[in-house]
Amino acid sequence: MNISIATVFPDLYRDFLNTSLIKRLQEKEIASYDVVSFSSFCNPKERIDAPAVGHGAGMVIRPEVVERLVDAQDKKWGKSYKIFLTPQGKKLDQTLSEQLAKIFQEQKHVMLLAGRYEGIDQRAHEEYADLEVSIGDYVLMGGDLAAMVLLEAVMRYVPGVVGKDDSVAMDSFSGTFVDFPTYATPAKDWRGHSVPEILTSGNHAALKNHRNDKAAQRSVRGHFGWVKNHCRTKEDKSLVSKHMPHHYLVLMHDNVLVQDGKIGTSSVTTLDIHDIARSCCTYGVKNYFLVTPLVDQHKIVETMLNFWHGAGIDYNRGRAQAVDLVQLSQSLDQVIADIEKKEGKKPLLVATSAKQQGDASQRITFFDQDKVWVHDRPVLLIFGTAKGLSDELINRCDFLLLPIDGFTEFNHLSVRSAAAIILDRWMGINLTEVD
């Protein structure tokens, strides 16, 4: 395959293409590189770029220059598959890298076009781009480093480039988990850091399990977004749940806002009990606490729970399993004490509110699992009824999840819907690809 690289600064590529594995591709005659400068396709006194149409948008690489470069390279190497490097492109990840490696191997000629200034004229993108690629949500001074990153990510998949094909297949971001920790021989302590004994035990099955476990642990704690998007198998699911802190949920019917901003109690509802229990069961929540100090309310819930602990089991096993998570409680403090007794640690309190309440320092997004989980403590998700949790209760919380919002002004989700959405966002699988 030939790879043409169109750039304003060809010198940037000299060392890059003549070093290590990228160089090896040329030596093995798997790939050849042809770095071409946009300026070589300018007529005397002609500029590569021109001011953008409209006020204040900088300089743009002119389409006529791109046209001449593309025509010349396609004439020399055959019609190319053209990739424009731009921050507006499709985000490069491991999946796209693997797909591109196939395209590179099928095509005789691939062209990478790296813009500078404010980029390449939109009309040239429209005319030529088979694909636009971004290497991340940040803006570089130009597309050259992006072109090099793309080459490094893609070329590893070309057979014969990386020593062991296995090490590509087992890499970070090739499956559910990032790579396991690795150590250089000899396996001796270094500055107080040791190598796990299991790695030198010679027990290959145990070593494999250990590596999988460590990979899962560091992925859950540091790359949960990736895990959520890629966890497919039963084995991986169980490894993930092993490394997630235990989560509990409480629905407050006490210490909530009622009419006229007063703090009071609310009534339990059978729909909230059943539906939130089913959501808790789906997402692996350990217990679903209902807090009300009212004796009559306790009696209502107990009657219902008795049904599900008895005749209800045969009536609907799944529902009975879910309702089994429900635990009645007098107060939030009682819930915290129960969790501490079971877990040996006090839970972190994470509240959710439909309104902007609390302090800015408490607020977290649905992508901030690592901020909470780093504390290695159980997590209690707190939901309010009636008009929401009291400010006093909100202020006690360690974290406050942002309100759920759509692209409308309507803000009246039922608490059971909010609980389902929050559980899904916080700890649900959300695959980015179909099998």
The nearest distance, CB 130 to ligand ADE, in angstroms, is 16
Of the two residues 113 and 250, which places its CB atom closer to ligand ADE in the complex?
A: 113
Q: How far is the CB of 83 from ligand ADE (least distance, A)?
A: 10
**What would the 3-class secondary structure string for the chain be?**
CEEEEEECCHHHHHHHHCCHHHHHHHHCCCCEEEEEEHHHHCCCCCCCEEECCCCCCCEEECHHHHHHHHHHHHHHHCCCEEEEEEEEEEECCHHHHHHHHHHHHHCCEEEEEECECCCECHHHHHHHCCEEEECCCCCCCECHHHHHHHHHHHHCCCCCCCCCHHHHHCCCCCCCCCCCCCCCCCCCCECCECCCHHHHCCCHHHHHHHHHHHHHHHHHHHCHHHHHHHCCCHHHHHHHHHHCCCEEEEEECCCEECHHHCEECCCCCHHHHHHHHHHHHHHCCCCEEEECCCHHHHHHHHHHHHHHHCCHHHHCHHHHHHHCCEEEECCHHHHHHHHHHHHCCCCEEEEECCCCCCCHHHEECCCCHHHHHCCCCCEEEEEECCCCECHHHHHHCCEEECCCCCCCCCCCCCHHHHHHHHHHHHHCCCCCCCC
Shortest CB 89 distance to ligand ADE, Å: 6
In angstroms, give the least distance from the CB of 61 to ligand ADE.
12
Query: For residues 160 and 168, is the Cβ–Cβ distance under 8 A?
Result: no
Query: Please, are residues 87 and 134 in contact by the beta-carbon 8 Å criterion?
Result: yes
Site for ligand ADE in 119-138 (CB under 6 A): 134-136, 138
| Nearest approach, Cβ of residue 181 and ligand ADE (Å) | 29
- Residue 366 phi, psi (nearest 5): -80, 5
Q: Smaller CB distance to ligand ADE: residue 143 or 347? A: 143
Edge-to-edge strand ranges of the sheet holding 247-252: 326-329, 288-291, 247-252, 379-384, 348-352, 399-401, 363-364
Number of residues that bind ligand ADE (CB under 6 A): 12
Does 175 bind ligand ADE (CB under 6 A)? Our answer is no
Instruction: Tell me how far, at minimum, the Cβ of 59 lies from ligand ADE, in Å.
Output: 14
- Piece of the chain touching ligand ADE by CB under 6 A; list 139-147, 253-261, 323-331, 332-340: 139-147
Of residues 132 and 338, the one with the C-beta less far from ligand ADE: 132
Minimum CB–partner distance for residue 376 and ligand ADE (Å): 35
In the complex, minimum distance from the CB of residue 114 to ligand ADE, in angstroms, rounded to a whole number: 7
Q: x-or-dash pattern for ligand ADE, window 14-33, by CB under 6 A?
A: --------------------
Span from 141-149, 155-163, 215-223, 311-319 in contact with ligand ADE (CB under 6 A): 141-149
Residue closest to ligand ADE when measured from CB atoms: 146
**Smaller CB distance to ligand ADE: residue 31 or 133?**
133
Nearer to ligand ADE, 115 or 175 (CB): 115
Task: Considering the complex, state which of residue 131 and residue 354 has its C-beta at the smaller distance from ligand ADE.
Answer: 131
Nearer to ligand ADE, 63 or 143 (CB): 143
Q: Shortest distance, CB of residue 150 to ligand ADE, whole angstroms?
A: 8
The minimum distance between CB 131 and ligand ADE, in angstroms, equals: 12
Options 146, 148, 285, 423; binder of ligand ADE; rule CB under 6 A = 146
Interaction pattern, residues 86-115, with ligand ADE; x per rule: CB under 6 A: xx----------------------------
Q: What residues numbered 51-90 form the site for ligand ADE, per CB under 6 A? A: 85-87
Contacts of 246 (CB under 8 A, 6+ apart): 286, 343, 378, 379
Q: Is 139 in the site for ligand ADE (CB under 6 A)?
A: yes
CA distance 312 to 302: 13
- Residue 143, interface with ligand ADE (CB under 6 A)? yes
* Closer residue to ligand ADE in complex, CB, 138/407: 138
Which residue number, 67 or 132, has a Cβ lying nearer to ligand ADE?
Answer: 132
- Peptide linkage before 87 cis (omega within 30 of 0): no
**Would you count residue 357 as binding ligand ADE (CB under 6 A)?**
no
Q: How far is the CB of 211 from ligand ADE (least distance, A)?
A: 33
Which parts of this chain interact with ligand ADE (CB under 6 A)? 85-87, 134-136, 138-140, 142-143, 146
